[in-house]
Copies of this chain bind each other. A is one copy, B any other.
Amino acid sequence: MTAATNARRLRPDLEIVAFERGHRVSYSACGIPYHVSGEVEELDALVVRTPREFRDSLRIDVRTEHEVVAIDPDRRQVEVLDVARERSFRIGFEHLVVATGARPIRPDLPGIDGPNIFGVQTLDDAERLVAYADEVRCQRVTVVGGGYIGLEMAEAFVMWGAQVTLVDSAPQVMRTLDADMATRVEAALERLSIDVRTGVDVIGFEPGSVHTSQGRVDADLVVLGMGVEPETTLAAGAGLDLGVRGAVRVDRRQLTSLEGVYAAGDCAESFHVVSRRPVHVALGTVANKHGRVAGINIGGGYATFPGVAGTAITRVCGLEVARTGLNEAEAGRAGFVASSTTIEASTKAGYLPSAEPMVVRLVVEQGTGRVLGGQIVGGAGAAMRIDVVAAAVTTRMTVDDVVGLDLAYAPPFSSVWDPIATAGRVAARRRRDDAR
């Protein structure tokens, strides 16, 4: 819908049609945990714009419950199934945007299709999940997978009133963080009475329980938080080139291998500005930027996608968590020789009673001193600082550059050296010491 909106702004004359197989478009899937927790009462509060609003204010013809089942590149048509009326039709296109998104990974395990097992990708998913939880008066929830959505859903179900178990096959939650940073997150989950079981494989499901490599866990309801994979059945069927992790390959203008066909969002590849490799990042921020770029180009403008820095943030169980760039393992895999500097700081001037602890890590390239990434875990106000690190990795700052930044300071916000600058200062000092 972002692509459609941007194209419309530049080309009032275009006929724009959007097909969606579900019931809603233009919503915040990231808001689902806050509906489950009860913080957002009405699911439809997560909808940004309704089909009617798209039609009335932007003349974009949104057809929900319409599934595009095939792309015909030769005739430049798509074949559409009108789900409600059970009939198909074809419609031609000049420009096409493939924005089919991603689907939650559902491992091929016994019982995986049980009625109490839910992925959380669309508002339709969320609606079914909440209805089910209400219906069975769910008391025990197991979340499989300790990534962002897994942790957020785990906390949401605690708020909901359930007893929650989190199972992750990895030795830590949040694999995008270095292990010791993730340990702090696990501690926060446990403080909220979430039963965290890392290094545990799920081997099957049956009504009322989850079988794991370390015994059975009771569960009225199971949330799958094992990540997503790009939904590219349609794209592959049309012969579009696929790239990393099976996502649709795109150039910097979001064009696929087929003329006039764009891909945007969770189904499409991105480019990582630090590793300089194609990556698949299924985040709303990235999807919106993809869409904007595709829409501007379709509208006759010129826009390119600048790439991702790997930024992500969450607030979970009273803790703020953020990361950007490369972590230690990623830096190694990308061919960097890097070392980390980790500092303990506080979210405000230490003498204010409301100050909370926070930890900042910078991952720094040897030799150049370039900042390759950063991680933050801490109390209220800690994590938004990651944006400065995101700017630093994007503009190839060294630790000295970071120390030199004129960062804001007042006692309610930080100590006089902002924690990010402090991390830079310690890293810079270590480099000077190493050089001597």
Contact = CB atoms under 8 A, between A and B. Distances in A.
B349 A31 contact: yes
B351 A31 contact: yes
Interface string A49-85: 0000000000000000000000000000000000000
A406 B349 contact: no
A149 B289 CA distance: 40
A264 interface: no
B28 A416 contact: yes
A34 interface: yes
Nearest to A272: B406
A255 B387 CA distance: 34
A416 B394 CA distance: 19
A404 interface: yes
Q: Quickly give the copy total for this chain.
A: 2
A251 B387 CA distance: 31
A306 B385 contact: no
Interface in A309-326: 309-315, 322, 324
A351 B395 contact: no
Interface string A408-427: 11111100111010000100
Contacts of A425: 292
A216 to B, nearest CB: 33
Q: Kindly list the 9 A-B residue pairs having the minimum CB-CB distance in the complex, ordered from nearest.
A: A306-B404, A313-B408, A309-B406, A391-B391, A45-B351, A311-B406, A315-B412, A285-B409, A387-B388
Interface of A: 9, 28, 30-31, 34, 39-40, 45-46, 148, 273, 283-286, 288-289, 292, 301, 305-315, 322, 324, 349, 351-353, 381, 383-388, 390-392, 394-395, 397, 401, 403-413, 416-418, 420, 425, 429, 432
